[in-house]
Amino acid sequence: MSSGSINKDFAIDVRNLNKSFGDKHVVRDVSLQVAHGEIFGFLGPNGSGKTTSIRMMCGLLTPDSGEGTCLGYDIIKQSDEIKRHVGYMTQRFSMWEDLTIGENLDFVARMYAMPDRKQCVETTLKQLGLEERASQLAGALSGGWKQRMALAACMLHNPEVLLLDEPTAGVDPKARRDFWEELQQLAAKGISVLVSTHYMDEAERCHKLAYIFNGQLIAQGTAKEVIESQHISTFAVHGGDLAALSQELKGKPGVDQTITFGDTLHVSGKDEDTLKATLSGIAQDSRYKVQLIDTNLDDVFIHLLGTKGKQDEKANA
């Protein structure tokens, strides 16, 4: 390992990670850096390699090639140390459903050899607000509570890095908001968080983002940087029959994509002038109101998916 290229200032620093399962190349040359105290959003469609990448970062999978460190520990040779300092929350609830909440936390505390174990479990239960339900089976908890408990469990040993794999999938909006408030508090304390998600509102809360598609990182940076890097302009259209309009606009000059958000139609394209010319016809129709807006993350990611998908199709053809 050329230690010179690895920056110890980063909580996570991985370069050119590759992983194949059989003849499926799941992760290709993934490189990313997460700074201390940063919330790093990991985005991408299902099956794009998010979970595999996260598993490699915490030593659960051995990369086929590539190198990297997590808190300065080598992800290939020092996975034991990484495990002691990293909290990993699996995508699927992976606490023991036939143990009580208290037993689960106690087990985790023993695993990490926490000093003053009983106190530690009690404090966690108190913070969770689950003191009275400590003797309930974990399997009996609702989805939102399961997520909270899992987060508490992977925070129990005071890790410096949190790897969270779709922690809010299937959780109601209020629980999601609470969850993110907790994450932001943790980040403020200096804990680095790498979190994968499908929700754009969550992505917008991240300090930095990476978008992975077919195992490759295709965009990285702050939300603003990611949006600007794609150089697309977006017009919002209100009123009238948007579904019909969306169909009508497809394939017109300058129109790369149309997305409906409730009562608004986002029309985006790389070439702002051509797009403007195309839309000027519609702007004259009194039913519609057209205005230039800031491109948002949704527009960009759908754009990325579309263009990348087409490129891959061409490459395969």
State which residue, 62 or 280, has the beta carbon closest to another protein. Answer: 62
Q: How far is the CB of 228 from another protein (least distance, A)?
A: 36
Q: How far is the CB of 212 from another protein (least distance, A)?
A: 19
Q: How far is the CB of 176 from another protein (least distance, A)?
A: 21
Can you give 147-195 as a three-state secondary structure string? HHHHHHHHHCCCCCEEEEECCCCCCCHHHHHHHHHHHHHHHHCCCEEEE
- Residues lying near another protein in the complex (CB under 8 A) are found at 55, 58-62, 80-81, 83-84, 88, 90, 92-99, 103, 107-108, 110-113
Q: How far is the CB of 269 from another protein (least distance, A)?
A: 42
Q: How far is the CB of 98 from another protein (least distance, A)?
A: 5
State which residue, 74 or 182, has the beta carbon closest to another protein. Answer: 74
d(CA 204, CA 50): 18
State which residue, 52 or 214, has the beta carbon closest to another protein. Answer: 52
State which residue, 75 or 128, has the beta carbon closest to another protein. Answer: 75
Say what the alpha-carbon torsion angle 189, 191, 192, 198 is, to the nearest 10 degrees. Answer: -80
Say what the alpha-carbon torsion angle 251, 255, 261, 264 is, to the nearest 10 degrees. Answer: -110
Burial bucket for residue 200 (CB in 10 Å: 0-12, 13-18, 19+): middle
In this structure, the strands spanning 257-261 and 264-269 are: antiparallel
State which residue, 111 or 243, has the beta carbon closest to another protein. Answer: 111
Element (H, E) at 242: helix 242-249
d(CA 13, CA 66): 11
